[in-house]
Amino acid sequence: MLPSDLKAEQFTGYPPKARKLVLTHLGALQQLPLSFVPSLLRELIDYDFKFPAERTSIDHELATLSSLSPAQLKEWFQAFSQLSLSSKLQNLDWVNQPAQFVEQLSAYLWTTHQLNAFREAAIAYGNRTRATRPTEPVPIPPLGIAVIGQGVPSYDEPLFRNLRKHGTYFKQVKPENGVQLLMAAVEARAKAHPVPYGHWYVDGGQPADHSPSLSCVSFQQLEPVRAALLKNIQTEIAKPGMGPEELRTHMALLSPADLGMGRGGDEVMDRFEVKLLTEGSGTQIFSTTFAQWTAREVLRRAQPLTLFVRFAPRQRQRPMNELLTGGDSNPELDLTGSLIDADMGAYYQWINQQRLPGAERSSFLVWFEGHSQALAIAPSLPRGTESNSNLDLGQLLSLAAG
């Protein structure tokens, strides 16, 4: 089947908001090449479970496509149309299983030496859609906070080396009640500027007390879900013929109900947490990996105004088969290795924050938990300098975030 053959009744299995959106723009979808449409449907089929920022992006993309004339659509998608696809791909149920189609499409393009052409077409399309997207003002500049090194008694090597040239390194901050002071400031922002999924708290361990105004994701709170997933993986691995690609496909199809989840009706968060654990590599096992990947996905998908990430110690590396069993209830922790991981994770968090709207006015703070070292990046602070100011964490954050 080709996109030109699409009919409204083929989307009855889509969630209600996604189905309504598809039918509104069905005429535009019918004019697009098969090499492109399933990638778009992969996003559309989950529309009901996406964050507001993602829905806004999809709405704009579809409205743009529907506004183009046939000649413009032909110009925009000429490179996609020139890709040759097999009849096997055409016969797949790409309407109801777009993610599986995209997986097989990628493999086919690679084996037929068309992957570079597809990538170039996708980049050109992305540039065009971004150029037409209006810039929405943000109510307040984005703020990122990373707390690293929980439980580490001392560390003599330099920290924040990748970030120092971008901000001010503070050597004598007051560490007392640091987490509480930072949490209070984050909660105040959330209360003053309430935005759905706009203010986040990510914890690699057991979360501290926090306001319900924050969207919270925690490694420890997801322990039952992680255990269920690891058990599921072990069961699948034991099946004959189960390889890495088959396992990946299986995990992509898992739903919150498959892992015993329930958040009182917040399906958006349920789906988000499942994707964190099924799409991330190591998020099921290592707390630092979980915190870093969650921060990346929150920034990419939710585009928050505030993101507070607190890293926690991860278990020490062991053979993968042992880690996948999840049977050790008291694993040995690697405190120093966790600090090094988190230091790099904070750097990645700042990089990804720079992709947000309003990033030119954003602020970022990273603190070595329990110690006097911190670094702040903000338009009002000098770059590549050091300070001996004796501030507590609340005062330092106020200085950075204005």
Q: What is the DSSP string of 3-70?
A: GGG--GGGGTTS-HHHHHHHHHTHHHHTTS-TTTHHHHHHHHTTGGGS-HHHHHHHHHHHHHHHHS-H
* Predicted local distance difference test score (pLDDT) of residue 321: 61
* Predicted local distance difference test score (pLDDT) of residue 247: 84
Q: What is the DSSP string of 81-100?
A: HTS---HHHHTS-TTT-HHH
Q: Is the pLDDT of residue 325 over 90?
A: no
- Going from N- to C-terminal start, the domains of the chain cover 3-132, 143-401
Least confident piece of the model among 110-114, 264-268, 270-274, 351-355:
264-268
The pLDDT confidence band at residue 323, using thresholds 50, 70 and 90, is low
Rg for the chain, CA atoms, rounded: 23
Q: Do residues 211 and 185 make contact, with C-beta atoms less than 8 angstroms apart?
A: no
Find the angle CA(150)-CA(156)-CA(162) to the nearest 5 degrees. 75
Strand segments (E) across 123-186: 143-148, 168-170
Q: pLDDT digits over 190-230, tens only?
A: 999 999 999 999 999 999 999 999 999 999 999 999 999 99
Q: Do residues 290 and 311 make contact, with C-beta atoms less than 8 angstroms apart?
A: no
With residue 293 as reference, give the H or E element that holds it: helix 287-297
Whole-Å CA distances, 375 to 145, 163, 349, 395: 10, 8, 14, 13
The pLDDT confidence band at residue 239, using thresholds 50, 70 and 90, is confident
Give the range with max mean pLDDT: 220-229, 241-250, 257-266, 302-311: 302-311
The pLDDT confidence band at residue 292, using thresholds 50, 70 and 90, is very high
The tokens of 223 are what?
């322990």
Number of Cβ atoms within 10 Å of the Cβ of 166: 17
Q: In whole angstroms, what is the distance from residue 20 CA to residue 70 CA?
A: 23
The pLDDT confidence band at residue 248, using thresholds 50, 70 and 90, is confident
Q: Is the pLDDT of residue 262 over 80?
A: no
Q: What is the mean pLDDT of the chain?
A: 93
What percentage of the chain exceeds 70 in pLDDT?
Answer: 96
Helix (H, G, I), strand (E, B) or coil at 78: helix
Q: Which fold has domain 143-401?
A: Alkaline Phosphatase, subunit A (3.40.720)
Hunting for tokens 């969207």 — which residue is that? 215
Strand segments (E) across 116-233: 143-148, 168-170, 199-203, 215-218
Q: pLDDT digits over 372-401, tens only?
A: 999 999 999 999 999 999 999 999 999 998
